[in-house]
Amino acid sequence: MNFPQLRMESTFGQIGLTSQKPIQEIEQLPAELTITQPKAEMNIERTPGKLTIDQTQAWEDMDLKPILRRIEEFAQNGYQDWLSGMARRSQEGDDLMKIENGGNPIAEHAMMNCESQMYDFNIGFVPSSFSVKINYHPIDLRIDWKTHKPEIDVKINKPRHDYTPGVVRSEMRQWPSLKIEVIGLELDEKK
């Protein structure tokens, strides 16, 4: 006995895919930085030093005096000699007034007036020590600083981002099909 048979032919479907890759571009621009530094301010106040040297006494010790000083000394010495001469004559007058008290005042006065005065002298230094007077006022220096902080300005740039998305396209390259045939069905009808 012949049984009918089924014969099937199938064709698989095929899908075609076409893709375009995505494109991404990122660019980061550097930040813009500006720095300004104001100058520091400096103020200097200076009082100069002062040195004074007085050597008047040293010159006088060496007998090198200005003429006005000599005139002044001569006037002072003359005045002192005049006073001492007046005192001596007054004393001599008093001695002569009291001649009755005894003694020989005239001979004594003559003896005192004719003797020269004895001067004592040892070692001498010309000019004398510390005759030059030195005085010094040191320099006075004041420095004032005023600093300023730097001025910093930062401008941050955002990143530039370009993105093109990818595309996927699909298409049917081959459609699926199924073909079914029955075999052996014709023979039975003939009998």
Mean pLDDT of 174-179: 90
**What per-residue confidence (pLDDT) applies to 1?**
59
Q: 191 lies in a domain?
A: yes
**What per-residue confidence (pLDDT) applies to 186?**
63
- Is pLDDT at 55 greater than 60 in this prediction? yes
Residue 89 and residue 97: Cα distance in Å, rounded? 12
- Is pLDDT at 43 greater than 90 in this prediction? yes
CA-wise closest residue to 169 among 22, 14, 15, 17: 17
Q: 99 lies in a domain?
A: no
Q: 149 lies in a domain?
A: no
Structural domain that includes position 190: 1-29+159-191
Q: 74 lies in a domain?
A: no
- Is pLDDT at 45 greater than 70 in this prediction? yes
Read off the amino acid at residue 48: P
Q: What angle do CA 100, 103, 108 make, to 5 degrees?
A: 125
Residue 42 and residue 144: Cα distance in Å, rounded? 6
Q: Could you write out the DSSP letters of every residue in 125-148?
A: -SSPTT-SEEEEE--EEEEEEE--
- Is pLDDT at 190 greater than 90 in this prediction? no
Q: Give per-residue pLDDT as tens, 107-165.
A: 888 888 887 777 777 777 778 888 899 999 999 999 998 999 999 999 999 999 999 99
What does pLDDT average to over the chain?
87
Residue pair 47/143 in contact (Cβ under 8 Å)? The answer is no
Q: 45 lies in a domain?
A: no
Mean pLDDT of 15-27: 91
Residue 38 and residue 21: Cα distance in Å, rounded? 54
Q: Give per-residue pLDDT as tens, 74-116.
A: 999 999 999 998 998 898 888 888 888 878 888 888 888 887 7
Mean pLDDT of 17-38: 92
Residue 191 and residue 187: Cα distance in Å, rounded? 7
Q: 174 lies in a domain?
A: yes
Residue 169 and residue 146: Cα distance in Å, rounded? 72
Q: 61 lies in a domain?
A: no
Q: 81 lies in a domain?
A: no
C-alpha 79, offset from chain centre: 66
Domain count, the chain: 1
